[in-house]
Structures are given as structure tokens and as C-alpha cells.
Chain A
Amino acid sequence: AQKITQTQPGMFVQEKEAVTLDCTYDTSDPSYGLFWYKQPSSGEMIFLIYQGSYDQQNATEGRYSLNFQKARKSANLVISASQLGDSAMYFCAMREGAGQAGTALIFGKGTTLSVSS
């Protein structure tokens, strides 16, 4: 079964508008972390934001915020005031367990975001 599900293969948004990228996850581990990465065409993985399973507040980093709904097991990324440079592939990822360096991130299939002027 998929642990990370991103149901939107592609999203389109106009500059300066906000956009929400969906992510749902599946785990029975009470301790986990949720991540969002941006991958432009160059291929580099750019870390955007992190949410721990025990964090009470939704994470925010500049124009990025994570809408964490634990009971629904969703961790949607909200990008406010989209910019042309935001056009890229976006991946939601999860790491299960805490305090273990040997646990890898598992990725969703990604969403391609296209921002137009």
C-alpha cells in the first residue's frame, strides 16, 4: 500500500495566487515526520518545510505553510503568492520513527506545479 499519496499529477496557478498541493499519508507509527521538497528541472532536491507528528502548530516557512490534519492523515502544502520560480515538481515525503538516522524518507509520486504570468 502507498504510504504517501499525492493525487494531483499537475497543478496550474497564476502568479500571486495561492495554491494547495495535496498529500495524504499512511502509518501506524505514532512518531513520524512529514516533509515537502521542491525539485526544479535541474534535479536538485530543495527542502521546503517539515512537520513532526507531535507538533501542535502547523509549520510555516516564509511563503510555505503545511496544513497538518492528523486525524485525516493529511499534510497539504500551501504556497502563498505564487511566483514564476515556483514552477517545479513538488514531493511530499515521510519518515517513520524518531531519533533514527537509518530510516529513509519515502516519497509520494509528486505534483508538477506550473505558474503562469
Chain B
Amino acid sequence: GAVVSQHPSWVICKSGTSVKIECRSLDFQATTMFWYRQFPKQSLMLMATSNEGSKATYEQGVEKDKFLINHASLTLSTLTVTSAHPEDSSFYICSARVLARGYEQYFGPGTRLTVT
């Protein structure tokens, strides 16, 4: 299957700082990537849909100024959590689909963010 990587796999930052999470498609080009957030023992909640070369589409309730998404190339999307607070501590997962490869959606391994 297609490979999606995320970096870092885990990060601890202080309250008020910003953190950037990278999502790369390693063996395919992804015109669209999806960002999810997952709190412990809860579901994956879609945060935004990231489109290469254009602005991301955010889900209702997700602050676009706080969660900056950039999809500068067909293989890289980044999520920056700005002015992070403890309530932003979560597991962030990116995902992509390749139409040519059918129905499957490929997930990155996730990034665990802890804000102290």
C-alpha cells in the first residue's frame, strides 16, 4: 500500500509556542490530504481538508488561525499549531487518498502532541 509519513512522531512543547507537524506521501502524489485529531479513547475528528496549491477547507468549529495548514507540494502538507495550549494536546493524524489506487485511504502513523 501507499506510504504516508509524519514527523515528528511525538512532540512536547510549552504553552504559547508553535509546533509544526509534517505529513509526506512517500510513493505517490497527493492532491488532497486530510488532517484528523484524536483525543484519548475517542474517535478521529476531521479537522481540515488540505488541497495542494490552495487554501485548506476547515471543518466547523476548527480555528483556522490556530491550526495553520499548508500544502505546498504534491507530497507535503504541514499542520502548524500556533500558540499551543494544554487543551491542544492530542494525537494528530494525516491521511491521503489516491484515486488511481482505488478506494483505500492511507494514514500516517500520527503525531502525539503534549503541551505543558
Contacts and interface: CB of A to CB of B under 8 A. Distances in A.
Contacts of B42: 109-110
Interface of A: 33, 35, 37, 42-45, 47, 50, 52, 89, 91, 95, 99, 101-102, 104-110, 112
Contacts of A108: 43
7 contacts: A43-B109, A43-B110, A45-B44, A45-B93, A105-B105, A108-B43, A109-B43
Contacts of A99: 99
B25 to A, nearest CB: 12
Nearest to B106: A47
A29 to B, nearest CB: 15
Nearest to B59: A104
A101 B96 CA distance: 8
Contacts of A101: 31-32, 97-99
A48 B24 CA distance: 23
Nearest to A52: B103
Contact of B91 (A43, A95, A106): A43
A66 B42 CA distance: 23
B67 interface: no
B56 to A, nearest CB: 11
Contacts of A44: 107, 109-110
Nearest to A6: B43
Contacts of B32: 101-102
A3 to B, nearest CB: 11
A104 B49 contact: yes
A100 to B, nearest CB: 8
A90 B39 CA distance: 15
Interface string B33-47: 010001001111110
Contacts of B97: 101
Contacts of B91: 43
A112 B105 CA distance: 22
Contacts of B34: 104-105
A47 B43 contact: no
A58 B79 CA distance: 38
